[in-house]
Amino acid sequence: MVDLSVSLSGLTLDNPIIPASGCFSYGREFADLFDINILGSFSFKGTTKEPRLGNPTPRIAETQSGMLNAVGLQNPGIDMVVKNQLAYMDRYFHKKVIANISGFSIEEYIYCTEKINNIEQVGIIEVKISCPNVYGGGIEFGTDAKSAAEVTRAVKAVSKKPVYIKLSPNVTDITEIAKACEDAGADGLSLINTLLGMRIDIKKRKPLLANKTGGLSGPAVFPIALRMVYQVYEVVKIPIMGMGGVSSAADVIEMMMAGASAVQIGAATLKNPYICKEIIEQLPIEAEKLKINSLKDIIGVAHI
């Protein structure tokens, strides 16, 4: 029997499979399809201080091996999420969840963290830092090491829960950002977020997305995500949740060998709502083929 359990900052998961934020909402719709309690956990929809309608449509475009999205963090705001979603989540999911929060200022990150602090079911706060700092000239928090560290310190100062910083791949050196977050007190890291891309409608002669550009996800980004997880594992000592184009049990094992302690599934869930269930069922079979007795034993083994 293969031991699929993993640990994230003291939180033990039955397996490393975690649906990624933005692709699983709050889990309620998926709970009608299968028992989502088989999941290790899930990261619920990215949440901001104020309600957001998101970007104008069209905001989704397909690519040859993935998709572009420019949804724009559409969500009802942290207060409504706490009141209407988190208050009832334990009725259909009986494990700890990951709260994905975002903000356009340090104060907004602090506000969301303080709202999440008292939610017993939240085990980890995942902080998305790829939003523009409205008080810092519009530069994304996640593309500047000092800004990333500033957000990390601010959230850690008020958080009662482990804090994982979700890193943007749209940088020259992701290891610099990762190390800055670790030095500022991050308990762990999530990577990667989507890569910036675009498509053009050649008949209309204009971008397919109303926002012009969007985040690329899907199988096309897997080798890039794998490379970045591998690089970050070499410079930090905190746990990593790896993500980006993962769509099979073999991908999960590969990501863990690169250094991930747990693996998030994003775009593949939108294409196949049963993908996480299928991967969990396939993981022990794949592990046995590779003579793996415990998934914990393979974390980072590809490093020489």
Return the beta strands (E) in the chain as ranges. Answer: 6-8, 11-13, 17-19, 60-63, 66-69, 97-101, 122-128, 163-166, 188-191, 195-197, 200-201, 206-207, 214-217, 240-242, 262-265
Q: How many CB atoms lie within 10 A of CB 199?
A: 17
Q: Pick the closest to residue 286 from 245, 264, 256, 241 (CA basis).
A: 256
Sheet containing strand 97-101, edge to edge, reads 17-19, 262-265, 240-242, 188-191, 163-166, 122-128, 97-101
The answer to whether residue 131 is catalytic is yes
Task: Please give the Cα distance from 199 to 63 (Å, whole number).
Answer: 8
Q: Please name the helix (run of DSSP H) or strand (run of DSSP E) that holds residue 281, with its range, or none.
A: helix 275-289
Burial of residue 9 (number of CB atoms within 10 Å: 0-12, 13-18, 19+): middle
Burial of residue 210 (number of CB atoms within 10 Å: 0-12, 13-18, 19+): middle
Q: How many CB atoms lie within 10 A of CB 116?
A: 22
Q: Pick the closest to residue 82 from 51, 105, 104 (CA basis).
A: 51
Residue type, 286: E
Which one from 23, 112, 131, 181 is the annotated catalytic residue? Answer: 131
The length of the chain in residues reads 304
Catalytic residues: 131
